[in-house]
Amino acid sequence: MKTCFVCSGPAETEEHIIPKWLQRQYALWDQKLSLPNRTTITYKHLKIPCCFDCNNNVLSQLETKVKSGTATDEELWKWAAKIHFGLLRKDDFLEWDRKNPGYKIGDVIKQDDPFELDRHLAHSIHGEFETDPSPWGSVFRFKFDRPVDYHFAHLISPAGLAVAFGDVGYVIFVSDTGSLSRQPDVCRSYEFHRKDVHPGKMLNFFANSWVHLFRHRVSYPFLMTPNSIALLGSPKLIETLPFGDDDYRQLWSYITSNPDAKIVTTEEYQSRNGLP
């Protein structure tokens, strides 16, 4: 019996990882999404086992809030967590090398998770697991002055996604305990990028913020019980990793599907555009 990716109960249905309303709005059904093994999958095939209650009640109500633009930061985080953990679970079913089956994508890219935190955070979507702070991540909102094309980017570690549809965009990091939203330099970058914003600036902010998380490896003191997790203090810096021009180029190419595009820092962007 397949298990629900949200609550781990018996799964009688399948959930579209990228919601059907968004696929209908932008005709995404036959468009393709890149996978970590450098292959692609169509949006319509991005489905994951889900129980009836999670699919038709919990997630349905969540999708209604996001679609109408009334979702709180906590609800937006849960929506991003549903997409992130859904994509990770989907990787457990897909071959890393289709010509030489044996290893699943999830076997290759899976991160160490001795406390099974990913599973517990997925349960928090249903409300069976509580986090403090809540949300257990950073949520950044963008408002465009006109409707834009659909944009979507997902990065696994550190876990984050950026999405734009209609006249709104969101950059959400799933498991940083909200630390990015408390960083003064990230907050200044956010205030700059949300002015006269377009999807390119939003993605640039996403990339720079992801690099900040990737480079600054930290440990989080927390208390965990079967039904909750609570942050006990400030993160402690363990190490700072390098991130060179080639790394930036590969990251930006992946996010934008444009090998010639280049990510720039906030300072570079301001200088190039004559901004203070």
Q: What pLDDT, in 10s, does the model give residues 46-83?
A: 898 899 999 999 999 999 999 999 999 999 999 999 99
Checking if the pLDDT of 20 tops 80, the result is yes
**pLDDT for the residue numbered 265:** 54
Average pLDDT over residues 142-146: 95
Q: Which residues contact 38 (CB under 8 A, 6 or more apart)?
A: none
DSSP E strand boundaries for 222-265: 222-225, 228-231, 236-240
∠ Cα 241 244 250 (to 5°): 110
Beta bridge partners of 34: 40
pLDDT, mean over the chain: 84
**pLDDT for the residue numbered 255:** 87
**pLDDT for the residue numbered 104:** 45
Record the pTM: 0.87
The C-alpha atoms of residue 74 and residue 86 are separated, in whole angstroms, by 18
198 touches 148 (CB < 8 A): yes
Checking if the pLDDT of 111 tops 80, the result is no
pLDDT digit string (tens) for 152-194? Answer: 999 988 899 999 999 999 999 999 999 999 999 999 999 999 9
Provide the sign of the torsion angle of the four alpha carbons 154, 16, 72, 167, taken in this order. positive
**pLDDT for the residue numbered 128:** 83
Residue of 164, 244, 178 whose CA lies nearest to 211: 244
**pLDDT for the residue numbered 190:** 96
Which ranges of the chain does DSSP label H, i.e. alpha helix? 20-26, 52-53, 59-68, 73-91, 105-109, 117-124, 184-193, 199-215, 245-256, 266-272
Single-letter code of the amino acid located at 94: L
